[in-house]
Structure 1
């Protein structure tokens, strides 16, 4: 015993001597900074609503050297093969997946909306009938909260890890883009009410709008932006290097029937609202200005405790839906978004400090080309009218089985039965399922169809099987899964959409920048649900409760 104590004391003494010596040497040579920060002061999550990965490469010559995209790509890390690991690839699922590190089968957000078998009605992803809107009179869009999300987010985990001393703020035009990323325990989430021109919140967060938000609304930024119009960034011949002609019959007309090409008049009539602003690149400016106001007012990144800002740029989705990936409008939107992001990073450099914050940029989903564009270029594609399709399905089931209105929804490319009705008439569900599969397989738009109860046994590639299974939650999903053919969308003769498993909808950008991030790029396949685990690894905190992702170690120092 005595010898052991002597040896322990001797070893301890030697260790202290070596530590003192090494510390003195390190300080003398400058190899160790005793004041080196162990975590970023602020994590900034940027989600671009509807961004294909290939935009980074296609439009790269148009991005400015001081813009946001080149800063992140040249000074940060790019995961060039980031995929969405589930279907449907839609906004609410994407925002939730990025911040929870998991998939709809676990976090519960199975679409922007879904038919809920327990409630027997359609449910919007962030609806909450127990709360009220705050910030605009009669703001029905304010009845929102994250309660439908079943797991924690990385923002929640940061709050818990710091004993709720970290601040978390969510900002977006769309309510779901602000609410779901910020998590259950956020200090605030703010979204735009296009009718009033105000950013609003709900009583889930505050009974009254915080003073700084009211002051921002009083600046009447949307009104000023609407007067500027949407003008071109480039000469016409440059647009033609990246897109088809400016006027196409298969493009939408969101700014009025007489406005068919750039530039666009965004002015509004009295009491018209501000939908034209949010449907243009100026919506990105509005979002960035609100995010800057949040950083200043909430003093994000001002102390040693890491804060988080979740920002979603919703306007690219509105532009993309109307005009499609090969339009002048989408090219122009990304030129202007690049500039906006560059200014935003300069603001963060000045307020938080360059190298003292970490930013990531990804997308909630990508997008398909407009079917009219596909047809014009002899590429596969077409449309499905879901309302007409549902009417036809109900008629077919009634003729065969005598059951009226058996199908209640085609949400998220799934056929949802009225399960209570089928139970009440003691219907042969197996026979109905087989009938529906046979019926669907004769349709031009269908690649495959099968009962969702047979996801694990239906012949299909494993990669596709996993995506379908990852998107399925019994009471929030349907009974028959439809897999549309490549290039087909649920839509009309103009514009486009997203939601499928194909690469054009599911291959998204993932850029990292700032504190703790290496410089480089990788073509290794990673997933959207790896983002939260990577942030958790960087911050050395617990990953979200339903996390299935893995840290992207090659991006971290």
Structure 2
């Protein structure tokens, strides 16, 4: 009798396990909208249709108080943090570019001299995720499914495609503009592009967007953004004013040809086109193993940098992105099945209002003169230590001390760090300064100090960290940028939608590293190996 009981119990658990795995979404779609502030959801809400942002918000779960919990808030660290469930302290992507203390040179977060380009003869494809130190949830899904669940990464930017897809991805594709206008990859993933990618590249799809960019709706209805003609926007070479409309076909020659598309909403449309082709070409979501596609919409960042967060151009870009999201969701409904896929949407960072605009409305803001700061610091070094060589590099608001020179001069590292802090804090527009020693010896739990500590990687970061004044940036007087630990850079959307997701919202604070463990918990897989976030149990159904 006991034999039959054990057989029954075994069959019961086997059946439940099979049902549990079959209950997983067929496809996880991770969407990162580059440079999307949270208030773009609310400010432009009335201009959105029902099938894009509103569908995600109203039928899914909206985390309204979602923040980055580290500094710096840049594209590379942002994408890595979303998918690894941790911060630069552990995943190691401390910036887009940083000074490598071992190699004694600047490095790019996705560059890899050991691989070759695929799809172009240029060096634009010499990229891989090898500098990222931890796994992503997409890696863990690959491991869990014995490499049978696929992962595909897509973006205009290489880092926006590569870092989310992780180390084990089947492929990552990014857009090489200039005179080529092609999606490319690297030998890290493959030796030749798949047929479906070749077909897309030869379809003339990218060139079809060399058209007039005018507002989607009558510009007079764009009351949620500033005036079209102002002094706070950059624009394109070959056009005197940064005002609608923009004839991209006539402007392309003076704006790096296909690269002009990146700074328009049509770059997002092209990304959507390629994502739909990838889902079809790779047969994603068509078997019992959960697949993952990571989509990063990069054009929102290019437009924001060029025109600023209060521009008519940024409003039109989000209105048009809303249409692309609706198109994506409708495609998923038809090809994966309603209720058979899961989506999350977030951003890699926000952006500051153009400081010159803030000044015009009497809000404290301004521009940093790093050259003057450098002159002051070099004078201090020369007068105090007899040489400027005691500093090896200044990069990303961090000072790297020359350890060999330190030893030769018989100086104490901790004292030198503190002396540099004491000097830097006297400079104009320096709000705070901290030593590496304090980052490694003190447990900060609140404030900018905690964010700096979460962004501090002991082997890669500098010896002194400098924090600038609020709304002061080293940038042109037109357009927006980002990088700080302030709310305009940290507060970004977090929407969950689809299979396994509850309907609702919360004002409870959530942080970017919570995303990966939430998706991992939903899939029943291991968390990324360096994950420090927590599953958002109120999101999962």
Give the TM-score taking structure 2 as reference length.
Answer: 0.93
**Contact kept in structure 2, 1:382 and 1:488, CA below 8 Å:** yes
3-state DSSP class of the match of 2:388? coil
Q: Which residue does 2:231 correspond to in 1?
A: 249
Partner of 2:382: helix, strand, or coil?
A: helix
- Give the gaps of 5 or more residues in structure 2: none
Q: Given that residues 138 and 151 in structure 2 are in contact (C-alpha distance below 8 angstroms), is that contact kept between their aligned partners in structure 1?
A: yes
Could you say what secondary structure the match of 2:513 adopts? helix
Aligned length, in residue pairs: 532
CA contact (8 A) 1:118 1:475 kept: no
Match of 1:29 in 2: none
1:337 deviation in Å? 0.5
1:321 counterpart SS class:
helix
Match of 2:23 in 1: 38
Change (3 A) 1:42 1:387: farther
1:95-106 to 2 correspondences below 5 Å: 95-106=79-90
Q: How does 1:141-540 map to 2 (within 5 A)?
A: 141-195=124-178, 196-226=180-210, 228-239=211-222, 241-256=223-238, 258-267=240-249, 268-269=252-253, 272-455=256-439, 462-540=446-524
Contact persistence 1:78–1:510 (CA under 8 A): yes
* Cα pair 1:197 1:220 within 8 Å, conserved: no
Question: CA offset at residue 544 of structure 1?
Answer: 0.3
Task: From 526, 531, 536, give the equivalent of 1:542.
Answer: 526
Cα distance, 1:10 vs structure 2: 11
Contact map agreement 1:412 1:499 (CA 8 A) in 2? no
Residues 48 and 362 in structure 1, CA contact (< 8 A), matched pair in contact too? yes
Q: Deviations over 1:21-66 (max 9, x none)?
A: xx9xxxxxxxxx9899410000000000100111111110010112
Q: Give the aligned CA root-mean-square deviation in angstroms.
A: 2.4
Counterpart Cα distance in 1 of 2:390 and 2:132: 28
Query: Deviations 1:370-417 (Å, cap 9, x if unpaired)?
Result: 110110111111122445533442343123211224444443322223
Q: Which residue of 2 aligns with 1:30?
A: none
> How does the TM-score come out when normalised to structure 1?
0.91
Distance verdict in 2 for CA 1:458–1:494, change over 3 Å: farther
**1:48 aligned to 2:15?**
no
Does residue 82 (structure 1) correspond to residue 39 (structure 2)? The answer is no
Deviation at 1:213, TM superposition (A): 1.0
Change (3 A) 1:265 1:386: farther
8 Å Cα contact 2:118/2:186 also seen in 1 = yes
Q: What is the CA-CA distance between 1:486 and the residue it aligns to?
A: 1.3
Partner of residue 48 from structure 2, selected from 58, 63, 68: 63
Q: What is the alpha-carbon distance in structure 2 between the residues aligned to residue 229 and residue 426 of structure 1?
A: 64
Distance 1:162 1:35, change over 3 A: closer
In 1, distance between residues paired with 2:167 and 2:375? 39
**Which 4+ runs in 1 deviate beyond 6 A?**
8-13, 33-36, 456-461
For the residues of structure 1 that align with 2:466 and 2:273, how far apart are their CA atoms?
A: 41
Distance across 1 between alignment mates of 2:456 and 2:19: 50
Decide whether aligned partners of structure 1 residues 522 and 417 sit closer, same or farther in structure 2, where only a CA change above 3 A counts: same
**How much has 1:418 moved relative to structure 2?**
3.2
Provide structure 1 residue ranges, at least 5 long, that are not aligned to the other structure.
24-32
- Offset at 1:453? 1.4
Provide Cα deviations, 1:150-202, integer angstroms capped at 9, x if missing partner: 01110100000000001100000000000000000100000011122111111
CA gap of 1:236–1:430, structure 2 versus 1, over 3 A, is same
